[in-house]
Amino acid sequence: MTRLKIGDEWWTAPAEGEDGNLVIVTGRSKVEPVMESGRFNDRVEVTWKYTPAEGGMPDDATARLMEQVDMALRGEFARDAVAVITGIYTGGGERNWVFYVSSLHSFQYRFNHALEPFETLPLTIYAEHDPEWNEYREMRSQTEIDEGE
Amino acid sequence: MNQLWLWIVISLAIGIISAFVFTSAVNRMAEVPEDTTDNAAGISKLSNIALNTVVFSILSFLIVWLIMAVLQRGPYAVM
């Protein structure tokens, strides 16, 4: 089996949420090999709702914990091709991680494994079949800033 | 590798090994000669092994599935 080359380059851009709040979008670039492999057909959205501080962002303590969780998830899913994190949205009282997944069963196992060191977090996980990567394409078209700009 | 295929391969391997062990143990207990030249007996032995392979493979698959389900329990579940 050939290994997929997954880029680890990210862009960050401000956007406006549905309720007009500021949302910081962090998107992953150079994921075309994964997208075109046809294996990552399910989209999983992990949502962490928090009490928003000023501007809809998390307070310092929550932000630090989120950063640790973020690192744990990136570390877990960097090792093999079960899931790829493609976007992270923060703002309006919630943080969302968007994954494209090749196996929901394996993803669930790996996700629980990654978050074992933490107390149980207020996370909800939603999955949807999205073989065309519509969410990712929409995020990219609306928020990606070309390096040349 | 997709985990389902991995489980199927593991289950088949366990099923084949178990079927051979089980069939030869049963034959030994029933005092059926291992090295038979009788065609019908040979075919019957083969079909026994095939049947046992299917049965043991299904059983192994279910057991592996159950073990994995227990191992994969955690506070977070995909809805």
Average pLDDT value over all residues in chain A: 89
Q: Determine contact, residues A85/A77, Cβ cutoff 8 Å.
A: yes
CB A136 within 8 A of CB A23: no
| A107 vs B1, B2, B78: nearest CB | B78
Asked if the model's pLDDT at residue B30 lies above 80, the reply is no
For residue B77, which residues of chain A lie inside 8 Å, CB to CB?
A: 108, 125
A137 touching chain B per CB within 8 A: no
DSSP annotation of A56 reads G
Bridge partner residues of A101 (DSSP): A42, A83
- Name the minimum distance, in Å, from the CA of A115 to any CA of chain B: 9
pLDDT in tens, A84-143: 999 999 999 999 999 999 988 889 888 998 999 999 999 999 999 999 999 999 999 988
Give mean pLDDT, residues A56-75.
Answer: 94
Residue of B nearest to A43 (CA): B78
Q: Tell me which of B9 and A46 has the higher pLDDT.
A: A46
Closest CA to A105 of B7, B13, B30, B20: B7
B75 closest CB neighbour out of A44, A120, A126:
A120
Q: CB under 8 Å to B68, separation ≥6 — which residues? A: A109, B3, B7
Cβ under 8 Å to B: A residues 23-42: none
Note whether B74 contacts A104, CB cutoff 8 Å.
Answer: no
Residue found under tokens 């391997």: B13
pTM of the predicted protein model:
0.69
B7, B64 contact by CB (below 8 A): yes
